[in-house]
Structure 1
Amino acid sequence: MRSIAGADIYGITGEEHSRGRDNITVVKAMIDAGITLIQYREKEKTMLERYRQCEILRRLTQDAGVTFIVNDHVDLALAVEADGLHVGQDDLPIPVVRKLAGPSMIIGLSTHSPAQAAAAVEAGADYIGVGPIFTTQTKKDVCDAVGLTYLDHVAQREDIPFVAIGGIKEHNIAEVRAHGAETIALVTEIVGAENISKRVKAIRKAMERN
């Protein structure tokens, strides 16, 4: 099973923030920039539109050896044979998702507190999202920022792979890295860049400053 281990950047799609480019174009640019872990997150399209995009993205990521995660929709993840599925606190419980998705699919869960992190480990999540670290406008239903204290807690006390997420940009990514995050998710900072390859290089350089 592919995992998030070894990935420095967790790229997440966001077509409404992508300067008029579609998710296919953006993911191609992410792959060309060397991102090895990509999540398809699309809230506004119909399921058929999502499926058609994910069919293409699955082929692209598979050919490139990139781990492909689908957000929220276990049926979509199964239909395109994605490597994994990422769900939130208000989605189906992890044991139910595991029953539907099978033993080989990577399952990630968004968490916002120490109690949720512990529950995710107990439920059998393969990795957790930790955040939002900073205030973010990318998601409409996002909770308040949890700050770096929760990130410290997970890095120091939880034995599970995790991804820091939420309001992370080139200017603050070194601080997030310094607090123990090895894998960091970015949305608008990447998909909204005029030159994605150039921006990814700058982000990686910034990550080395801690």
Structure 2
Amino acid sequence: MQFRSCHSPEEPLGIYPLVDRADKLKRLFEAGITTAQIRIKDLAGQRLEQELIQADTVAKSYQARLFINDYWKMALQLNSYGVHLGQEDVLDADLPAIHQAGIRLGVSTHTPAEIDSALTIQPSYLAIGPIFETQSKQLSYPTIGLKNLQHWVETLDVPVVAIGGIQRHNLKNVIQAGANGIAMINGLNQPGCTAMESVKNLIHIFDEAYQTRALSYV
């Protein structure tokens, strides 16, 4: 099976924030974000469902690409744009049902073996990382680095989302290495800027570097 595409050359995934609450999405979309992920680790039951419903509703009102992390059953129920799964979650998910519903699928990968395994299900994108050291979680895998990121981008036929330790100062280098999307958590916040200014600055850096990269291939 091959999952639906989630990008085009004119509309890359771009700056791809990972947030833990639905109320953060509206500000991001108003700043110009077109792709985001709702990643909730501290709620369950009705509170979790309400949060995911709100996130899905907000994203659809902005015609944005929202990926629900882990909770693929809720993604099916809501007919969400996409779902993002980790390595273990892929084994438990009903992939044919997700595919049949036309929901896009992103998969986390950290090693060549995980990349090879994920490619067998032909997801909409692969998240590869960590690219650099990160403060958002304790690392269980070695960093990928820019050289290996570029290798995978050039090797794979599926869009690559780079994740892990990406900040404003190294963002352009990651885009130049070929990433289609840049997953960010802590990197969204910049000293001396409002949240809105920070996100707009990151979008500007991405768009400029992406266009320059595209022209270099002409």
- TM-score normalised according to structure 1 size: 0.85
Gap change, CA 1:158 and 1:35, over 3 Å in 2 = same
**Does structure 1 residue 199 correspond to structure 2 residue 198?**
yes
Runs (5+) with no aligned partner, structure 2: 213-218
Q: Where does structure 1 differ by over 4 angstroms across 4 or more consecutive aligned residues? A: 191-194
**Does structure 1 residue 99 correspond to structure 2 residue 105?**
no
Cα distance in 2 for residues equivalent to 1:111 and 1:191: 25
Cα distance in 1 for residues equivalent to 2:30 and 2:140: 30
Runs (5+) with no aligned partner, structure 1: 15-22
Q: CA deviation at 1:118?
A: 2.6
Aligned to 1:137: 135
Gap change, CA 1:28 and 1:177, over 3 Å in 2 = same
Of 8, 19, 23, the residue aligned with 1:13 is 19
Alignment of 1:138-177 (within 5 A): 138-140=136-138, 142-177=140-175
> What secondary structure sits across from 1:181 in the alignment?
coil
How many residues of Structure 1 are paired with residues of Structure 2 in the alignment? 201
Q: CA deviation at 1:156?
A: 0.9
Q: Is the 8 A contact 2:159 2:179 kept in 1?
A: no
Q: CA deviation at 1:101?
A: 1.9
Cα distance in 2 for residues equivalent to 1:2 and 1:50: 27
Cα distance in 1 for residues equivalent to 2:86 and 2:190: 24
Q: CA deviation at 1:192?
A: 8.0
TM-superposition CA deviations, 1:21-74 (whole Å, max 9, x none) = xx2331111010111111100111124222111111111111110011100121
Cα distance in 1 for residues equivalent to 2:66 and 2:175: 23
Q: CA deviation at 1:107?
A: 0.9
Q: CA deviation at 1:90?
A: 2.0
Aligned to 2:215: none
Aligned to 2:216: none
- Look up the equivalent residue of 1:201 and give its one-letter code: K
Gap change, CA 1:57 and 1:188, over 3 Å in 2 = same
Aligned to 1:20: none
Cα distance in 2 for residues equivalent to 1:134 and 1:123: 27
- Look up the equivalent residue of 2:113 and give its one-letter code: A
Aligned to 1:42: 40
Cα distance in 1 for residues equivalent to 2:156 and 2:5: 21
- Look up the equivalent residue of 1:101 and give its one-letter code: I
**Which range moves more in the overlay, 134-143 or 179-188?**
134-143
Q: CA deviation at 1:182?
A: 2.6
Aligned to 2:75: 77
